[in-house]
Amino acid sequence: MANEVHASPETGSATGLLRGIISDIGDLIRQEIRFARTEIRTDLRKTREAATVLALGVGTAVLGVLLLSVMLVFLLHWLTLPVGEANHYDPASVPMWGCFGIIGGLFLLTGAALAWLGYKKFESFNPLPDETANTVKENVEWIVNSK
Protein backbone atom coordinates (compact mmCIF):
# COMPACT_ATOMS: atom_id res chain seq x y z
CA MET A 1 0.00 0.00 0.00
CA ALA A 2 1.10 3.59 -0.50
CA ASN A 3 0.60 4.34 3.22
CA GLU A 4 3.13 1.77 4.38
CA VAL A 5 6.58 2.94 5.37
CA HIS A 6 9.37 0.80 4.01
CA ALA A 7 12.40 0.69 6.23
CA SER A 8 15.54 -0.40 4.48
CA PRO A 9 19.18 -0.42 5.52
CA GLU A 10 19.73 2.51 3.16
CA THR A 11 17.06 4.72 4.75
CA GLY A 12 19.17 7.83 4.83
CA SER A 13 20.82 7.46 1.44
CA ALA A 14 19.58 9.11 -1.75
CA THR A 15 19.37 5.78 -3.59
CA GLY A 16 17.25 4.33 -0.78
CA LEU A 17 14.88 7.29 -0.95
CA LEU A 18 14.74 7.04 -4.73
CA ARG A 19 13.95 3.32 -4.52
CA GLY A 20 11.20 4.05 -2.01
CA ILE A 21 9.70 6.73 -4.25
CA ILE A 22 9.82 4.46 -7.30
CA SER A 23 8.28 1.63 -5.29
CA ASP A 24 5.49 3.92 -4.05
CA ILE A 25 4.80 5.16 -7.59
CA GLY A 26 4.64 1.55 -8.79
CA ASP A 27 2.19 0.69 -5.99
CA LEU A 28 0.11 3.74 -6.87
CA ILE A 29 -0.02 2.77 -10.55
CA ARG A 30 -1.05 -0.80 -9.67
CA GLN A 31 -3.82 0.50 -7.41
CA GLU A 32 -5.07 2.86 -10.11
CA ILE A 33 -5.16 0.00 -12.63
CA ARG A 34 -7.13 -2.16 -10.18
CA PHE A 35 -9.53 0.71 -9.53
CA ALA A 36 -9.99 1.32 -13.27
CA ARG A 37 -10.71 -2.38 -13.89
CA THR A 38 -13.34 -2.43 -11.15
CA GLU A 39 -14.94 0.75 -12.43
CA ILE A 40 -14.98 -0.51 -16.03
CA ARG A 41 -16.56 -3.83 -14.98
CA THR A 42 -19.30 -1.99 -13.10
CA ASP A 43 -19.93 0.33 -16.04
CA LEU A 44 -20.05 -2.62 -18.47
CA ARG A 45 -22.64 -4.35 -16.30
CA LYS A 46 -24.77 -1.18 -16.23
CA THR A 47 -24.35 -0.76 -19.99
CA ARG A 48 -25.41 -4.36 -20.62
CA GLU A 49 -28.52 -3.94 -18.44
CA ALA A 50 -29.50 -0.68 -20.16
CA ALA A 51 -28.89 -2.14 -23.63
CA THR A 52 -31.01 -5.19 -22.80
CA VAL A 53 -33.97 -3.07 -21.69
CA LEU A 54 -33.55 -0.77 -24.69
CA ALA A 55 -33.39 -3.71 -27.12
CA LEU A 56 -36.49 -5.31 -25.59
CA GLY A 57 -38.30 -2.01 -25.89
CA VAL A 58 -37.33 -1.46 -29.50
CA GLY A 59 -38.19 -5.05 -30.43
CA THR A 60 -41.59 -4.82 -28.76
CA ALA A 61 -42.29 -1.45 -30.38
CA VAL A 62 -41.39 -2.85 -33.81
CA LEU A 63 -43.84 -5.71 -33.25
CA GLY A 64 -46.48 -3.14 -32.30
CA VAL A 65 -45.84 -1.16 -35.47
CA LEU A 66 -46.15 -4.34 -37.54
CA LEU A 67 -49.46 -5.21 -35.89
CA LEU A 68 -50.74 -1.68 -36.44
CA SER A 69 -49.76 -1.99 -40.11
CA VAL A 70 -51.78 -5.19 -40.40
CA MET A 71 -54.63 -3.37 -38.64
CA LEU A 72 -54.58 -0.71 -41.34
CA VAL A 73 -54.89 -3.40 -44.01
CA PHE A 74 -57.91 -4.91 -42.26
CA LEU A 75 -59.39 -1.43 -41.70
CA LEU A 76 -59.04 -0.64 -45.39
CA HIS A 77 -60.71 -3.95 -46.25
CA TRP A 78 -63.53 -3.28 -43.78
CA LEU A 79 -64.06 0.25 -45.10
CA THR A 80 -64.36 -1.00 -48.68
CA LEU A 81 -67.03 -3.64 -47.92
CA PRO A 82 -70.46 -2.90 -49.36
CA VAL A 83 -72.89 -1.33 -46.89
CA GLY A 84 -74.65 -3.90 -44.71
CA GLU A 85 -72.23 -6.78 -45.39
CA ALA A 86 -69.73 -5.99 -42.65
CA ASN A 87 -71.18 -8.35 -40.03
CA HIS A 88 -72.67 -11.12 -42.20
CA TYR A 89 -69.49 -13.19 -42.28
CA ASP A 90 -68.03 -12.20 -38.87
CA PRO A 91 -70.15 -12.67 -35.72
CA ALA A 92 -67.55 -10.94 -33.46
CA SER A 93 -68.55 -7.64 -31.89
CA VAL A 94 -65.10 -6.11 -32.51
CA PRO A 95 -63.94 -6.13 -36.13
CA MET A 96 -60.64 -7.79 -36.97
CA TRP A 97 -58.94 -4.44 -37.62
CA GLY A 98 -59.95 -3.29 -34.13
CA CYS A 99 -58.41 -6.40 -32.57
CA PHE A 100 -55.13 -5.81 -34.40
CA GLY A 101 -55.26 -2.15 -33.40
CA ILE A 102 -55.77 -2.90 -29.69
CA ILE A 103 -53.01 -5.49 -29.52
CA GLY A 104 -50.66 -3.44 -31.72
CA GLY A 105 -51.25 -0.36 -29.58
CA LEU A 106 -50.48 -2.32 -26.40
CA PHE A 107 -47.26 -3.65 -27.90
CA LEU A 108 -46.30 -0.19 -29.14
CA LEU A 109 -46.95 1.44 -25.74
CA THR A 110 -45.08 -1.32 -23.87
CA GLY A 111 -42.16 -1.11 -26.29
CA ALA A 112 -42.02 2.66 -26.03
CA ALA A 113 -42.03 2.47 -22.22
CA LEU A 114 -39.22 -0.11 -22.20
CA ALA A 115 -37.19 1.88 -24.71
CA TRP A 116 -37.65 5.02 -22.59
CA LEU A 117 -36.50 3.13 -19.47
CA GLY A 118 -33.43 1.83 -21.30
CA TYR A 119 -32.63 5.35 -22.53
CA LYS A 120 -32.97 6.73 -19.00
CA LYS A 121 -30.63 4.00 -17.70
CA PHE A 122 -28.05 5.05 -20.27
CA GLU A 123 -28.41 8.67 -19.17
CA SER A 124 -27.94 7.78 -15.50
CA PHE A 125 -24.26 6.85 -15.87
CA ASN A 126 -21.20 7.52 -17.95
CA PRO A 127 -19.53 4.35 -19.30
CA LEU A 128 -16.08 5.97 -19.13
CA PRO A 129 -13.94 5.49 -15.98
CA ASP A 130 -14.30 9.10 -14.79
CA GLU A 131 -13.42 8.42 -11.16
CA THR A 132 -10.19 6.72 -12.13
CA ALA A 133 -9.26 9.58 -14.45
CA ASN A 134 -9.93 12.09 -11.65
CA THR A 135 -7.79 10.22 -9.12
CA VAL A 136 -4.94 9.85 -11.62
CA LYS A 137 -5.16 13.58 -12.33
CA GLU A 138 -5.08 14.36 -8.60
CA ASN A 139 -2.08 12.06 -8.10
CA VAL A 140 -0.17 13.67 -10.96
CA GLU A 141 -0.95 17.15 -9.62
CA TRP A 142 0.20 16.12 -6.16
CA ILE A 143 3.46 14.67 -7.54
CA VAL A 144 4.11 17.77 -9.66
CA ASN A 145 3.29 20.21 -6.83
CA SER A 146 5.27 18.33 -4.18
CA LYS A 147 8.64 19.25 -5.76
User: Which residue blocks in 80-92 are alpha helix, DSSP H?
Assistant: none
User: Which residue type is seen at 39?
Assistant: E
The mean pLDDT of the chain is 82
pLDDT 10s digits, 63-81: 999 999 999 998 888 888 7
- Burial label, 111 (beta-carbon count in 10 A; 0-12, 13-18, 19+): buried
Q: Which pTM value belongs to this model?
A: 0.62
Model confidence pLDDT, tens digit, residues 119-130: 998 888 776 667
